[in-house]
Structure 1
Amino acid sequence: MSAPLSSTRTRAALRTSARVSAEVLLVLVMTAVALWLLGRMWSVVWPLIVGLLLTTLTWPLTRHLRRRGWPPALAASAVTVLFLLVASGVVALIAVPVASQSGELGDGVVEGIERLREWASGPPLNIGDDQINGAFDSATTRFQDSVGSMVTTVVTGVSTVLDGVVTAVLALFLMFFMLKDGSRFLPWLARQLPGRLADDVPTVAARGWETLGEFVRSQAYVGFLDAVLIGLGLWIVGVPLVLPLAVLTFVSAFVPIVGALFAGFVAVLIALVSNGLTDALIVLAIIVVVQQLEGNVFQPMIQSRGLGLHAAVVLVAVTLGGNLAGIVGSLLAVPVAALIAVVWNYVREQLSEPRREPETDPAPDGAGAPA
């Protein structure tokens, strides 16, 4: 027969549970308030985040130049100009070949539409020209009826593009100032904080900086693998514009979900208008396989090794970030999870007790003497 419950211990356990629940609730409320403030200041925070990620990408070269004796302002200016030249070169590498073959691509689109019409007019669909014309007239009518909403959508799209341009310009200027004066930030921060915070916060910030650098480098590795595998597949199938499509795949790897969809759509479209439906389906299968390998194998393995996170944690973080905040959430999910891990590891280090060395009894007299 079991012993009766102790009323004293039960009340103590309830009081402890109530206190812990209240503390957890307070933490959740403060987190919600912080996220609300972050959302209100997002127009400033987002360029800062982009500039910080760009700084982690360009800081190794800047550090190399500064170690060679370059002044900070000159090194930051040179790296910023080089970054702009590389970005412009990437855009030119994608746009120039596409523009040079725009005529052939346009003819391919027209031919593809004609083939689609001929296929639809045959069995098993047997869609006649009258039905096609009727569908075209219906689509035209719907288009005319929805002009107002489309104008609103276009205006919203233009506003989004302008916001993107402003964000890019602000991020570029922030990157320059971070490259120029970023090394002074931690000493300045240590002087502003009182007591133990002067040691704890700069240490966590330095570890977080290293973690962000690992994230950007791992993302570049993943994009490089995508570009090589997809570019090799396009070359084997015989799709034109292999190099621009590979470069587009590499660049779009830094934008989760939408970047991969956009690069894959462009590759399949070019394969369709240039090589036909069969090769387009083959290209689609190649892209789907590579993207599945990236999302479920390459990205979790590479980022988990570089960021110190388990592959399952990376996969869950990307999924959760996408569900909570869409594209931006997917982009920031892994670095945020890594920064949380950095803070947690530091707190655990500070709260853990030092290991005690096992005590050894002194050797008895004569124990160490040779026989």
Structure 2
Amino acid sequence: MIAAPTVREERAGPVVWTGIIAVTCLLLVLLEHMLWLVLPLIFGIVMYYTLLGPMRRLLRLGFSRSVSSMLVCAIFFGLSALVLVAALSWNAGLEDSGSWSDTLALYANGGVAFVRNTMALLEVKFPILAEMHLTSLANKRFKVFTDTFAQRYLTTILVTAAGWLPSLLLAPFLAFFFLRDGLRFKKFLARAVPNAYFERTLFLLHQVDQTARRYFEGMLKLTVLDTLVLGFGLWVIGVSSPLLLGFISALLAWVPFIGSVVGCVMVVIVAATDAPSNPLVAYGAIAVFILARLLDDFVFMPITLGRSLKMHPLITVLMIFIGGALSGVAGLMLVLPLLGVVMVIGETLGRLMTNPRLRARHRYAKQLREKQASGDLKV
């Protein structure tokens, strides 16, 4: 008895990967001009994968899909509203002791004082820096920036934030309809596929969904781990609101490179303001942040995201730089999940188009349909 030959799945070749990278770059360029829709879509997808687990538990308990999605969304958004009310009441309590402008000015002055003290210390250690008058030059630049910040930047920031608010309100609606009608949308796509490719198409849809789910769930787990590590380290050295600072820094880390730098600057400014007479606290905050980033890159990242996007590190680093060059900060944030989804689609389509068995089945099915359609016709 002769065993049937096994069909070996070939990995994507250079042509397929060239197409994957080209399509990813094209989508990044297009998405840059549709950020008003892309950002709510990202937040909606994050909410969708956050609420998908609880909704599946309700489905296993016997609830319908519509009821499960409504219950989960109602509980989640109700809790979010309570948190928002608590934050606003806390903000009202802060306004009794001082305005937000006074608080921002306090932290800005603390950060500037830390930089000045650091430069003065460097001038003492390195006389060449004293000859360059580094401290006086930096003081002039700081004075010009602080005097013109409100006129040049504050109004633009507030107007931009107000313009983004309506589009961000789309995120809850997108999350609700993803939960309720996601399965229906998958069936709609599957019905348009020829029968010969039906099984592989279902596999493709499943893989795309699993890739996106693993990525965003991994990012959420990574955010929790970073928050705990940073919060604990800042609490040990005596920085105020350690968990809040850790959480904001972990969220900013979703944007590669830039987010980490902004988070580190924020932590150092708060530490310098809390202990203006003890610069070691600010230096300790820098050390804590660097240690947290090292743990994130070499321990937490492989555990949470390393198994979700199976890409070579060289491709990952190159695509991060390409995403930043094409679409700025949005490209840095979107390039990895977008590349992961396009990679799954491209590799699966490449296998579909190059599989001789599937192409033969498709041709045979077309011949049968043509023969059946013309069976009662006579010349």
TM over 0.5: yes
Question: Distance in 1 between the 2:23 and 2:113 partners?
Answer: 61
Q: Which deviates more, 309-318 or 113-122? A: 113-122
- Greater Cα shift, 176-185 or 161-170: 161-170
Q: Which runs of structure 2 are paired with 1:265-276 in the superposition (5 Å)? A: 265-275=265-275, 276=278
**Segment of structure 1 superposing worse, 235-244 or 83-92:** 83-92
CA-CA distance at 1:85 after TM superposition: 4.2
Q: Contact conserved, 1:94 with 1:247, CA < 8 A, in 2? A: no
1:208-219 superposed matches below 5 A: 208-219=208-219
Q: Is the 8 A contact 2:49 2:216 kept in 1?
A: yes
Q: Structure 1 residues 163, 248: closer, same or farther in 2, change over 3 A?
A: same
In structure 1, give the amino acid aligned to 2:326: L
- Whether 1:143 aligns to 2:134 is no
Residue in 2 that maps onto 1:8: none
Match of 1:58 in 2: 51
- Deviation (angstroms), 1:40: 5.2
Unaligned runs of 5+ in 2: 1-13, 125-129, 131-135, 358-379
Please give the per-residue CA displacement for 1:41-91, whole angstroms capped at 9, x wherever unaligned: 553344334323331222121122122222333322222233334545666
- C-alpha separation between the residues in 1 aligned to 2:41 and 2:183? 17
Provide the C-alpha distance between the structure 2 equivalents of 1:216 and 1:29, rounded to a whole number of angstroms.
Answer: 23
Q: Find the counterpart in structure 2 of residue 76 from structure 1.
A: 69
1:64-143 → structure 2 map (5 Å cutoff)? 64-88=57-81, 139=144, 143=148
Structure 1 range deviating more: 331-340 or 50-59:
50-59
Corresponding residue number in structure 2 for 1:291: 293
Structure-2-length-normalised TM-score:
0.67
Distance 1:92 1:261 in 2: 31
RMSD: 4.6
Per-residue deviation at 1:285?
2.1
Task: Give how far 1:283 is off.
Answer: 0.2
In structure 2, the CA distance between the partners of 1:191 and 1:314, relative to structure 1 (3 Å rule), is: same
Give 2:229's aligned amino acid: L
Q: Distance in 1 between matches of 2:334 and 2:284?
A: 33
For residue 143 of structure 1, what is the amino acid of its counterpart? T
Q: 83-92 or 303-312, which moves further after superposition?
A: 83-92
* Separation in structure 1 between the aligned mates of residue 219 and residue 20 of structure 2, nearest angstrom: 32
Q: What amino acid maps onto 1:317 in structure 2?
A: M
For the 8 Å contact 1:215–1:335, the answer to whether it is kept is yes
Partner Cα distance (2:159, 2:111) in 1: 34
The equivalent residue for 1:205 is: 205
1:236-247 counterparts in 2 under 5 A? Answer: 236-247=236-247
Tell me how far apart the structure 1 counterparts of residues 146 and 230 of structure 2 sit (CA, whole Å).
40
Query: What SS class does the counterpart of residue 304 from structure 1 fall into?
Result: coil
The question of whether the paired residues in 2 share the 8 Å contact of 1:257 and 1:327 is answered with no
Q: Aligned pair 1:323/2:319, yes or no?
A: no
> Which residue of the partner structure matches residue 10 of structure 1?
none
Residues 1:60 and 1:341: Cα distance change in structure 2 (over 3 Å): same
Counterpart Cα distance in 2 of 1:307 and 1:209:
12
Deviation of 1:325 after TM superposition, in Å, equals 1.8
Mapped contact 1:252–1:263 kept (Cα < 8 A): yes
Distance 1:187-1:334 versus aligned 2 partners, 3 A rule: same
* CA–CA separation in structure 2 for the residues paired with 1:280 and 1:215: 33
SS of 1:306 mapped into structure 2: coil
Within 2, Cα distance between the matches of 1:323 and 1:140? 27
Whichever residue aligns with residue 209 of structure 2, its letter is W
Q: Partner of 1:305: helix, strand, or coil?
A: coil
* CA separation of 1:192 and 1:340: change in aligned 2, threshold 3 A: closer
The answer as to whether partners of 1:296 and 1:315 remain within 8 angstroms in 2 is no
Distance 2:249 2:21 in 1: 39
Partner amino acid, structure 1, of 2:319: A
Q: Deviations over 1:104-132 (max 9, x none)?
A: 9959757887898899999967xxxxx99
Tell me which amino acid in the other structure corresponds to 2:347: N
- Asked if the contact 1:300/1:315 (under 8 Å) is kept, the reply is no
| TM-aligned CA distance change 1:291 to 1:167, over 3 Å | farther
Counterpart amino acid of 1:252? Answer: L
Q: Which runs of 5+ in 1 are unaligned?
A: 1-19, 126-130, 355-371
- Please say which of residues 35-44 and 173-182 is displaced more in the overlay: 35-44
Deviations 1:306-356 (A, max 9, x none): 2333444444433332333222212222212222331243235433578xx
**What is the aligned residue count?**
324
Higher mean displacement: 265-274 or 296-305:
296-305
Deviation for aligned residue 1:248: 2.5
Q: Return the letter of the residue paired with 1:53.
A: V
Matches within 5 A, 1:165-244: 165-194=165-194, 196=196, 199-244=199-244
Question: More displaced, 207-216 or 85-94?
Answer: 85-94
In 1, the alpha carbon distance for the partners of 2:245 and 2:146 equals: 36
Superposed displacement of residue 184, structure 1: 1.0
Deviation at 1:176, TM superposition (A): 0.8
8 Å CA contact retained: 1:62, 1:75: yes
Distance, in Å, in 1 between the alignment partners of 2:236 and 2:61 is: 45
Change (3 A) 1:284 1:35: closer
